Amino acid sequence: MRQVKGVLFVLAQDMSASSEYITASEALAALDPKAAKKAIAARDNGRLVDMSAPVPPGAELTPVLPGDPESLDILRHSAAHIMAEAVKELFPGVKVAIGPSIDDGFYYDFDYERPFTPEDLPAIEKKMSEIVRQNAPFEHDLWPKDQALKYFGDQDEAYKLDLIEGLEDDQVGIYRQGAFTDLCRGPHIPSTGKLGAFKLTSVAGAYWRGDEKGPMLSRIYGTAFFDRKELKRHLQLIEEAKKRDHRKLGRELELFSFHDEIGAGMVVWHPRGMILRNIIESLERAEHLRRGYSMVQGPQILKRELWERSGHFDNYRENMYFTEVDEIAYGIKPMNCLAHMLIYKSKRRSYRELPLRYFELGLVHRHEKSGVLHGLTRVRAFTQDDAHLICRPDQLEDEILGVMAFVTDFMELFGFEYTLELSTRPDKSIGSDEDWDRATAALSKALEASGKQFEINEGDGAFYGPKIDFKLHDALKRSWQCATIQCDFTLPDRFDLTYTGDDGEAKRPVMLHRVILGSIERFIGVLVEHFAGAFPLWLAPEQVRVLTVTDRADQWAQEITQALKDADLRAEVDLRNEKLGAKVREAQLMKVPYMVILGDREVDNREVTPRLRSGKNLEAMELESFIKMLKAEQAEPTERLRQRGRERQ
């Protein structure tokens, strides 16, 4: 054996006379026993395999160690299997469905005579700990499909049969640990004793295969880490996330609500929520105009034949709503691009006019399954800050870089960091290979020109083109998908968009679909959690609350409140005959940035004593000085944004 740059090469002469193969564990142990002992899996020519997997001569092996990018995924997938074994032992008759790892943990879906509850979790955790102490090996096998069908049929595991019947391969991956056998591709940790630190976190309902018409299952969530310190930090983040949950804060801060009488996934915006929303939307309108965009608006419903022409009917129909007017079929728009292309086609275009940038805060509707709806972050009716940039091919890179700069400016305004992904052609798509290659190359070239690092997300592009996705990272370092840039050579061809070139010939433009914040609803949900509801002054629905100590201060309080409103500041006055402490607590719970507390001294001196929501008291000052201070604080973030916009023109 030899090692080059951390890769172990298994040579033919290393093989024993009795066997052509050795296991990955044996191969790694021969070179580096310490690494082999720590390894939870291996890469065989880049392919993840179990430590017990046989490796042939010529294999290129590297150990997968705790801390490697794939390690947590393998650990958590194994934890899901261990949890399933524990549930099977504790609840006879339960049927198992699927149990993958997810971004921050794992889950497994079960079908039982009753839904599981949080009260069941301690017993399941205890049983999991017993299984871990048994240190049973994870054993992999390949069964013929018929054998797998017979085994799981004998076990009355209907969901496994459903999965197997949907497989095209003749052989099925099987894993065993202890008394539990599961359908799985793997890989897994070498044995249950390698699990480390774990915690079951919650239970929920989930439809089989996400289909509302399918059976409702019980989903148990958990998480796992390689050591207890990492688990403790994660659980602390979970507790902080609960405090920041935008659904909870949305109610408490009177921003928005949902009502069964209206329907799932439909938001009702309250006065405070509309103030917050209007601040963001007004800022977006002004900044788009400043950066060379034109405001447009399309209708809510368009004829079905248009959706057929665009490819949405064949490739996106399951996410759309349809209706009929005068016996003509219409689709309720899930996107804004069709009307924008028709605006472009309304007259002949010259190469001198391009690029054209059409911007719309467009209300769209998408048929999201009820099982995935989640507060503002997954709804059925939402507004996109949508734009379509139609340009010449030679302008494409500059336009992509311009959108990337636009996103960067807005993310800095709100205090978000982000990472980038280039998402490529999905299985379900339209357009020629040549167009997809050109579009992908254009996005890749712009990303490289920007100097920013990015990852490839294979097969996750839109059905009409590849895209750059911006993954925002909030105050808790959670990732959110909001901004995106999609490069589209296909729809301009389907809608016969043209411009007259400098040679007098008709030429085909390119179209960029892009959003900066994405869904306004989703972004506000993320924003609420990012700031924990304590918005900076410029975003706060209520910026100042004026509080009186006695009735003698009422007149001065009303004058102050009116002066603040006249200065375009958002102020409210509390004249109730309540104890001052109660008034202050209520303002703090509503996360109002400033309070003005008025007693006899403030009335006599016609001054104000500001108090921050943190509890810090400022020195008494004249009203004019207070207003000047607030105006400067309010203007500073958006003035920075405007300055960046001017610099980028």
Q: What is the pLDDT of residues 243-289, one digit of tens each?
A: 999 999 999 999 999 999 999 999 999 999 999 999 999 999 999 99
CATH assignment of the domain containing 591: 3.40.50.800
Please state the length of the chain: 649
Residues 6 or more apart from 243 whose CB is under 8 A from it?
532
Least confident range from 25-29, 337-341, 633-637: namely 25-29
Burial of residue 261 (number of CB atoms within 10 Å: 0-12, 13-18, 19+): exposed
Region 210-232: mean pLDDT is: 91
pLDDT bucket at 642, cuts 50 / 70 / 90: confident
**CATH number of domain containing 450:** 3.30.930.10
In the predicted structure, residue 649 carries a pLDDT above the cut 80 = no
State which of 235, 269, 284 marks the end of a domain: 235
Residues 289-321 as b or e (16 or more Cβ within 10 Å = b): eebebeebebeebbebebbeebbbbebbeeebe
**Looking at residue 217, which CATH number applies to its domain?**
3.30.980.10
89, part of any domain: yes
Q: Which of 459-463, 522-526, 547-551, 596-600 has the lowest mean pLDDT?
A: 459-463
- The reply to whether 423 falls in a domain is yes
Asked whether the beta carbons of 489 and 431 are under 8 A apart, the reply is: yes
What's the whole-number average pLDDT of the chain? 91
pLDDT (tens digit per residue) in 310-326: 999 998 999 999 999 99
Q: Given this model, what pLDDT does residue 562 score?
A: 97
* pLDDT score at 37: 87
* Catalytic pick among 380, 467, 591, 644: 467
Range of the domain at 23: 2-64
Contacting residues for 48 by C-beta, under 8 A, at least 6 apart: 41, 42, 64, 70, 74, 186, 187
Residues 75 and 22 in one domain: no
Task: Please list the alpha-helical segments (H only) found in 7-93.
Answer: 24-31, 33-38, 71-90
* CB-based contact 415:539 (threshold 8 Å): no
Q: Is the confidence at residue 55, as pLDDT, over 90?
A: no
- Candidates 50, 127, 177, 337; catalytic one: 337
Give residue 627's pLDDT band: very low, low, confident or very high (50, 70, 90): very high
Residue 313 forms part of a structural domain: no
Question: pLDDT tens digits, residue range 427-470?
Answer: 888 888 898 998 999 999 999 999 999 998 888 888 888 999 99
The yes-or-no verdict on residue 593 having pLDDT over 90 is: yes
Q: Of 182, 201, 235, which residue constitutes the final position of a domain? A: 235
Q: Is residue 16 domain-shared with residue 34, that is, in the same domain?
A: yes
**259 tagged catalytic:** no
pLDDT of residue 28: 85
In this structure, how many other beta carbons lie within 10 angstroms of the beta carbon of residue 355?
Answer: 18
Cβ-contact 511, 488 below 8 angstroms:
yes
Say if residue 163's pLDDT is above 50: yes
- Of 66, 1, 54, 65, nearest to 25 by C-alpha is 54
**CA nearest 139: which of 80, 184, 91, 73?**
184
Q: Are residues 44 and 123 in the same domain?
A: no
* Residues facing 328 on adjacent strands: 325
Residue 2 confidence (pLDDT): 42
pLDDT of 17: 39
Which sign does the torsion angle of CA 645, 337, 279, 249 carry? negative
513 an active-site residue? yes
Residues 27 and 81 grouped into a single domain: no
Q: Is residue 247 part of a domain?
A: no
Q: In this predicted structure, what is the pLDDT of residue 594?
A: 97
Residue 642 covered by a domain? no
Are residues 106 and 146 part of one domain?
Answer: yes
| 407, part of any domain | yes
**pLDDT at residue 567, rounded to an integer:** 97
Closest by CA position to 609, among listed 533, 544, 550: 544
Say which of 43, 366, 438, 583 is annotated catalytic. 366
Residues 470, 439, single domain; the answer is: yes
pLDDT in tens, 122-135: 999 999 999 999 99
386 given a catalytic annotation:
yes
- The 10s digit of each residue's pLDDT in 473-526 is 988 888 898 999 999 999 999 999 999 999 999 999 999 999 999 999 999 999
> Which one is catalytic: 246, 380, 384, 435?
384
Query: What is the pLDDT, as a whole number, of residue 13?
Result: 39
Residue 20 has what pLDDT?
63
Mean pLDDT across 323-333? 95
The answer to whether the beta carbons of residues 383 and 334 sit under 8 Å apart is no
User: Looking at the domain assignment, is residue 325 inside a domain?
Assistant: no
Task: Give the predicted TM-score (pTM) of the model.
Answer: 0.82
Domain count, the chain: 4
Query: Between residues 186 and 355, which one has the greater pLDDT?
Result: 355
Q: How many CB atoms lie within 10 A of CB 19?
A: 8
When comparing pLDDT for 572 and 373, which is higher?
A: 572
Q: Which of 73, 109, 120, 386 is catalytic?
A: 386
CA atoms within 13 A on the CB side of 320: 24
Considering the domain architecture, whether residues 384 and 443 belong to the same structural domain is answered as yes
Q: Which of 48, 36, 46 shows the shortest CA–CA distance to 1? A: 36
Bridging pattern class, strands 180-183 and 171-177? antiparallel
Which tens digit of pLDDT belongs to each residue from 10-35? 443 344 434 567 888 888 888 788 88
Same domain as 452, residue 502? yes
Per-residue b/e over 322-334, b at no fewer than 16 CB within 10 Å?
Answer: eeeeeeeebbbbb
d(C-alpha 463, C-alpha 150), whole Å: 39
Both tokens of 594, joined, read: 């400033």
**Residues 588 and 613: beta-carbon distance below 8 Å:** yes
> Tell me, what CATH number does 33's domain have?
3.10.20
State yes or no: is 487 an active-site residue.
Answer: no
Does residue 28 share a domain with residue 132?
no
- What is the Cα–Cα distance from 294 to 349, expressed in whole angstroms? 16
Q: Is residue 248 situated within a structural domain?
A: no
Q: 392 phi and psi, to 5 degrees?
A: -75, 155
The verdict on 60 and 79 lying in the same domain is no
Dist CA 527 CA 521 (whole Å):
10
pLDDT band at 7 (very low <50, low <70, confident <90, very high): very low
pLDDT for 460 equals 87
120 labelled catalytic = no
Which phi and psi angles does 430 have, rounded to 5°? -125, 165
What DSSP element (H or E) covers 172?
strand 171-177
Domain co-membership, 82 together with 197? yes
Asked if 272 is an active-site residue, the reply is no
- The reply to whether 435 and 525 lie within a common domain is yes
473 included as an active-site residue: no
Taking the C-alpha atoms of residue 609 and residue 604, their distance in angstroms, rounded to an integer, is 13
Instruction: Give pLDDT, residue 12.
Output: 37
